[in-house]
Structure 1
Amino acid sequence: MRVAAVALASALVLLTGCGEKKSSEKASQTAAKVNKEEITVHQINFVLQRQQGLKPEQAEAASKQILERLIDQELAVQKAMDMKLDRDPKVVQQIEAAKREIISRAYVERVGEGATKPTPEELQKYYDEKPALFKERRIYSLQELAIEAKPEQLATLRDKLAAAKNIAEFVEYMKANDIRFAGNQAVRAAEQLPLAGLDTIAKMKDGESMFNVTPTGAQVLVLASSRSQPVGLEQAKPAIEQFLLNERKRKLIEEEVKGLRSNGKIEYVGKFAQGASAPAGNAAPAAPAPVAVAPAPAASTGMSDSDISKGMGLKK
């Protein structure tokens, strides 16, 4: 374990520019000296730029913490070099794997840079086509039950849910019949929900339930309550633009990888040759679509609005 930890530290330092320390650096760019080696401001800034959600006023304190970690890292690297761990086959393999990952990711990012920004007309079109996200946006108070059940129990569970006066009655039925389940509740804005299921949830009325078959049994989603909170086009534009741009980047990258595979010579060998070219028809069937049922209204969860996530970046 110690060798692996040192190896990862070694790989990170090597890949973040330690190999350039012996180049002519200005004294002002040196943040610390560790034995005969230097840690530069460039190294600190590189790590600092990768910190998500860091506020400007936190940058100085974060820089000092990063420097301390880089000092510990440099000491570990120097000791690892003395022990010739950089020549250990496992360490070499990890470094090569990290190098390949970084280079391939750089290429993918370069391809994605070719995506064009959406036009104002495209932003308007997306806004109009997604009323549940914008014009008719709601804040949902949801209750979820993850149920462990056998396939032959699902029809009965679905019927009991539909016949129950409220979700509490359905829960009591499961308890009485030793059906295992786990409950959860949360308040979610429309953009916090999966886009694939948002339209279905948006059509639900307060108190309605959704029954969905899962690999381990079933999921019941109850819309305990909701309230309208629409978002205007101008407020939504930045989030829509970023979403559509990301989609274009994803499609560009998918097409590029598909082209590389088509033009490259790929040969599966040994056990990997078996089933490598299986037809698409052998793919696993899609999960059944959720079915909404409507029992009597369930009680509100009474959660605070402060729990609502901002999802795509839309503000209340």
Structure 2
Amino acid sequence: MTSALSTRPTRLSRLVLVPTVLACAALLAACGGGDGDKKPATQVAAKVNSGEISVHQVNQVLQRQPGLKPEQVQAVSRRVLDGLVDQELAIQQATEQKLDRDPRVVSAIEAAKRDIIARAYADKVAEAAAAPTPEEIKAYYDSKPELFSKRRIYALQEFNIEANAEQKAALQSKIPGLRNGEELASALKNAGIRFGARAVTQAPENIPMGALAELAKVGEGQWLVKAGPAGLSAIFVAGAKPAPVTEEAAKKAIEQFLLTDRKRKLVSDSIKKLRESAKIEYVGTFANAAPVPAEAASAAAEVTPTVAPTAPASDALDAATLQKGLGLK
């Protein structure tokens, strides 16, 4: 879940930790503030030794995070400017010590430049994404009952068991008949089988989507057993408390998620087309390396949508967490 910053950043970290959206604050500074201010308009927000910090630089920081109230404008814009002053002082010292010529710094700058330009292209492509319709939002809500209408909070006892083929076969038939995790732990110890275990409370958004679909079918007091290459994973559902999320409460988060997902797909499709039309040649040790199948990469990235209420007593949803849960942010 996302939350407002609750700690005050150090001076040198303000530039990163305190960006806010009120660009109007910097514009007010540039234009002289109110009617009683007779200072001439200027694009310089501060002078630091022989350097200057422009109003445009302040604006760039302010535009990164929305949500400030009007009464916070003046204080936050000054705090942002102070952060830029600290940054400028550090830059001046780094330049004087020729740190800007350090190969590692030069490489990092080039990498950041490439990332910024590539992101600009992705943002441009993503602008074509259409907002989801109310019907699409409802369809998504209805298609994920385990996340919304039939959402449950699970009390689980999880086991990762090291076992050979013979042991796996025996355990798969035995585990479903056990009454709880304690009985399984005792049986494994008596058999000299190595295992790891933990008791955990999980919301569905913290469970991989594939496992969640199976877990949603398991009742309290039942087991979900899956075989793996090195053994078994066994999950005992000690409790499953209903915690539904209404369609109205989920609406905004679903809308934002669907829009973000469409943007991601547009960018992905665009890059795919560019790769198909480009001449790409892998050399050196990369020439013989097997490419990762797109399907495998996609499956590895799949996680569960985060759609939990922002607080236990609330039905409100957090759109940013929804996006993060789906690997879109």
Q: Give me the TM-score of the superposition, normalised by structure 1.
A: 0.70
More relative contact order, 1 or 2 (CA 8 Å, 6+ apart): 1
User: For the structure 1 residues 42 and 166, does the alpha-carbon distance in structure 2 shift closer, same or farther, using more than 3 Å as the test?
Assistant: same
Work out whether 1:170 is the aligned partner of 2:184. Answer: yes
CA RMSD of aligned residues (A): 4.0
Match of 1:179 among 183, 188, 194: 194
Give the % identical residues: 47
| Cross-structure match for 1:261 | 275
1:250/1:196 CA distance change after superposition, 3 Å: farther
Whole-angstrom CA distance in 2 between matches of 1:282 and 1:138? 30
Question: Partners in 1 of 2:295 and 2:252 — Cα distance?
Answer: 41
Distance 1:216 1:187 in 2: 25
Shift of 1:185: 0.6
Q: How many residues matched?
A: 274
1:114 maps to 2:128: yes
Per the TM alignment, residue 149 of structure 1 is displaced from its structure 2 partner at its CA by: 4.9
Residue identity opposite 1:247 in structure 2 = D
Choose which of 235, 246, 261 in structure 2 pairs with 1:232. Answer: 246
Equivalent residue number for residue 210 of structure 2: 196
* Equivalent residues in 2 for 1:149-168, closer than 5 Å: 149=163, 153-168=167-182
Match of 1:85 among 99, 111, 116: 99
Say which SS state the counterpart of residue 157 (structure 2) adopts.
Answer: strand
Query: Counterpart of 1:211 in structure 2: which amino acid?
Result: V
Per the TM alignment, residue 107 of structure 1 is displaced from its structure 2 partner at its CA by: 0.8
The equivalent of 1:130 in structure 2 is 144
Between 132-141 and 208-217, the greater mean CA deviation after superposition: 208-217
Structure 2, unaligned stretches of length 5 or more? Answer: 1-11, 20-28, 31-40, 301-310, 323-329
Deviates further, 165-174 or 139-148: 139-148
Distance 1:70 1:184, change over 3 A: farther
Cα displacement (A) at 1:271: 2.2
Match of 1:250 in 2: 264
Shift of 1:273: 1.4
Quote how far apart the aligned CAs of 1:59 are. Answer: 7.1
Q: Are residue 105 (structure 1) and residue 107 (structure 2) matched?
A: no
In 1, Cα distance between the equivalents of 2:235 and 2:83?
45
Q: Aligned partner of 1:222: which letter?
A: F
How has the CA–CA distance of structure 1 residues 168 and 73 changed in structure 2, closer, same or farther, with 3 Å as cutoff? Answer: same
Contact 1:141–1:225 (8 Å) recurs in 2: yes
User: Structure 1 residue 159: deviation in Å?
Assistant: 3.8
Match of 2:307 in 1: none
1:277–1:30 CA distance, 2 compared to 1 (3 A): closer
Change (3 A) 1:160 1:70: farther
Determine the structure 2 residue equivalent to 1:4. Answer: none
Following superposition, the deviation at residue 268 of structure 1 comes to 1.4
Q: Distance in 2 between the 1:154 and 1:137 partners? A: 31
Deviation at 1:123, TM superposition (A): 1.9
- CA 41–156 in structure 1, closer or farther in 2 if over 3 Å, else same: farther
Name the residue aligned to 2:8: none
Q: Which runs of 5+ in 1 are unaligned?
A: 1-8, 17-24, 288-303
Cα deviation for residue 243 of structure 1 reads 2.0
Query: What's the offset of the Cα at 1:170?
Result: 0.9
Letter in 2 for 1:200: E
CA distance in 2, matches of 1:64, 1:178: 62
3-state DSSP class of the match of 1:135? coil
Give the deviation of 1:63 after TM superposition.
5.3
2:180–2:236 Cα contact (<8 Å) kept: no
**Contact 2:253–2:318 (8 Å) recurs in 1:** no
Does residue 63 of structure 2 align to residue 35 of structure 1? no
Does the C-alpha gap of structure 1 residues 265 and 230 become closer, same or farther in structure 2, counting only changes over 3 Å? same
